[in-house]
Amino acid sequence: KSTRKTKKNLPPGPPRLPIIGNLHQLGSKPHRSMFKLSEKNGPLMSLKLGNVSTVVASTPETVKDVLKTFDVDCCSRPYSTYAARLSYNRNDLSFSPYSKYWRELRKLTVIDTAKRVKSFGHIREEEVASFVDFIRQSASLEKQVNFNLKFMKLSASVICRLGFGMSLEGSKLEITYDEVIQGIMEVLGSFAAADFFPIIGKLIDRLTGLHGKCEKVFQAMDTFFDEAIKCHLDDESIKDDIIALLLKMERGEIGLGEFQLSRNHTKGILLDILVAGIDTSAQTATWVMTHLISNPRVMNKVQTEVREVVKNKDNITEDDIEQLKYLKMVIKETLRINPLVLLLIPREASKDLKIRGYDIPKNTWIYVNVWAIHRNPNIWKDPGAFIPERFVDNEIDYKGLNFELLAFGSGRRMCPGMGVGMALVHLTLVNLLYRFDWKLPEGMETRDVDLEESYGLVCPKKIPLELIPVITKRT
């Protein structure tokens, strides 16, 4: 009715129900449901989610429109109740609207990332070395390793030292970090009633438990941030990490453009590091090992390459990694078949737009269905199969220039942590593939390995991957 009244030419979309619109069609795997709906309704599709008008882009062409041609008008973030709560009222980078504050913060990460990736190499190396020790012990006891948990612990240890200047061990987060981080991801990835039904939504979320879950993870996270900040206030010799930098900004010793940081800004920024930094790298590494154990041919080929390049060196360096062409294809193929942020973080049109002849009114939420692009048979032959060789003589990369592969997004909001994340993923995998062989638990065969993803802001493997390490001569 309202479409006719305003004469807007909205992108086509499936029929909707009163009040809930198309929410009932999203199911437990919204990326898959949106993919199916877009096959019928087109690559730029309208959905009404309760009260909120949304558009879903599902092909490289329409995504290029959103992330490149109209990037500046599509790169704000919509207000989302629980993201606002967890980010101390959008004082972070990920959920902040497109604004001067966001631009200042973003500049900081750009300058910082390249420098930090290299300068914190020693932290990665030390943490990976102690991870290798743990795997060695498991191998000597023939004990299986839960990759989802152990990679998360490794990633959390690196990020805690890099970002918070403290060890995960002995901290307030040590026992519960996996629950807290997964909880945050679930809350942030959920289609919350409060966002789509302004009046009764909050009540619905109380009944479903989403509100309570958000409060619980917020309290755990906040206590940890207080602990980390207190450490820095008590010991002024801690200088070389992100909290130290943010505290200097709070005290006005360093500026962030015209902004004076408050404690809530500091904590909002810490949320980015905690959430965006830990789960993503850990789950990428888990997916790589999952595909390798399911494809013995690929496992054999990548181990042969790693062992030839590294030879008998005890210390594996980042120069060695540079030469590992096939390993890079394996990781790229993993990011294609299991990108972690399947719908990117939602965007919002900051003014009325016309894309491909369709009207996109101001404040429309925009989803980019990365999963649909990565599984599109017109782009990728046999898209469900794990074939790293598809990247031989194929220049497509995940660095934001190719709209066929968008594991880190593209444009102004593209992931600023790609370098840090991938450095850890590479170093970890090289060590695991060089020093150990891997087998499935007793009674399991390759075809039994489950490949189902779960759904959240980040989508990890649903059933944890458990493998038994076997010591090779090299360890």
Residues that bind ligand HEM (CB under 6 A): 93-94, 106, 272-273, 276-277, 280-281, 284, 340-341, 344-345, 407-409, 413-417, 420-422, 425
The CA–CA distances, whole Å, from 342 to 73, 143, 336, 453 equal: 22, 33, 11, 10
**139 or 221: CB nearest ligand HEM:** 221
Q: How far apart are CA 79 and CA 379, in angstroms?
A: 33
| Nearest residue to 41 via CA among 60, 24, 22, 28 | 22
Q: How far apart are CA 37 and CA 57, in angstroms?
A: 11
Q: Sheet harboring 44-49: ordered strands across?
A: 44-49, 52-57, 365-368, 347-348
Shortest Cβ 130–ligand HEM spacing (Å): 19
Q: How far apart are CA 82 and CA 213, in angstroms?
A: 10
Name the H helices within 235-262: 242-250
**94 or 364: CB nearest ligand HEM:** 94
Shortest Cβ 405–ligand HEM spacing (Å): 11
Shortest Cβ 304–ligand HEM spacing (Å): 25
Shortest Cβ 308–ligand HEM spacing (Å): 26
Q: How far apart are CA 141 and CA 470, in angstroms?
A: 10
Shortest Cβ 93–ligand HEM spacing (Å): 4
**21 or 409: CB nearest ligand HEM:** 409
Shortest Cβ 152–ligand HEM spacing (Å): 13
**25 or 286: CB nearest ligand HEM:** 286
Shortest Cβ 337–ligand HEM spacing (Å): 13
**373 or 422: CB nearest ligand HEM:** 422
Contact 35, 369 (CB under 8 A): yes
Q: How far apart are CA 96 and CA 111, in angstroms?
A: 19
**83 or 298: CB nearest ligand HEM:** 83
| Nearest residue to 91 via CA among 261, 279, 276 | 261
**167: helix, coil or strand?**
coil
Tell me: is residue 415 an annotated ligand-binding position: yes
**47 or 57: CB nearest ligand HEM:** 57
**256: helix, coil or strand?**
strand
Q: How far apart are CA 263 and CA 258, in angstroms?
A: 16
**205 or 348: CB nearest ligand HEM:** 348
Whose CB is nearest to ligand HEM? 417
Residues 6+ apart with CB under 8 A from 281: 151, 155, 420, 421, 422, 424, 425
| Nearest residue to 295 via CA among 248, 341, 334 | 334
Q: Where are the beta strands (DSSP E) in 427-465?
A: 436-439
**373 or 407: CB nearest ligand HEM:** 407
How many residues belong to the chain?
475
Shortest Cβ 44–ligand HEM spacing (Å): 17
User: Token pair of 305, please?
Assistant: 């390459």
**197 or 403: CB nearest ligand HEM:** 403
Helical (H) or strand (E) element with 456: none
Shortest Cβ 264–ligand HEM spacing (Å): 17
Our CA angle for 207, 209, 214, nearest 5°, is: 135
Shortest Cβ 75–ligand HEM spacing (Å): 8
Our CA angle for 301, 305, 309, nearest 5°, is: 170
Name the H helices within 295-369: 296-310, 318-322, 325-337
Contact 241, 163 (CB under 8 A): yes
Q: Which residues are annotated as part of the binding site?
A: 415
Q: Which residues are annotated as part of the binding site for heme?
A: 415
